[in-house]
Amino acid sequence: MKSKVVITLLKTAWVLEMIIAAFILIVTVVQMLLTGKDSLTSLLAGQFNLDQFLAGAMNIIVGLEFMKMLVLHTPRAVTDVLLFAIARQLVVSHASPVDTLLGVSAVALIFVIKKFLHTKEDSAIPGAQPPQPPAS
């Protein structure tokens, strides 16, 4: 009885994660189209702002990576989200030199983690099936 409840809960959580991932993808695509439209309008009007464009582009990338993390459930997907989120903060914000140094150090640490701690299994794309509950 207990294992059926656990299996049902895990499947429900997986379905909800996929719905959230699909919603994030849809919103990200809409944001991409709006960013392109706004950038083209600003460029033609001679009022293009590179900082705003980079902020929008990096938000789109972080959104895509977050959606991939929800779908893949791998350590590599999590580190990719962290990498892009930190990189976005470094590119968009004009922080103090100490904050920039901390951000660059965090990016370097993520690259070290990706190089030395990830295995081939961390990159494997799981099947399109919900995660299996532990055997009882």
Above 90 in pLDDT, residue 70? yes
Above 80 in pLDDT, residue 123? no
Q: What is the pTM of this model?
A: 0.79
Query: Between the CA of residue 45 and those of 22, 41, 57, 131, what are the distances in Å?
Result: 35, 6, 20, 51
Give CA–CA dist 132/78, Å, rounded: 20
pLDDT value, residue 128: 47
pLDDT tens-place string over residues 108-118: 999 999 899 88
Give CA–CA dist 136/133, Å, rounded: 9
Report angle CA 38, 40, 43 to the nearest 5 degrees: 105
Per-residue b or e along 31-41, where b marks 16 or more CB atoms closer than 10 Å to that residue's CB: ebeebeeebee
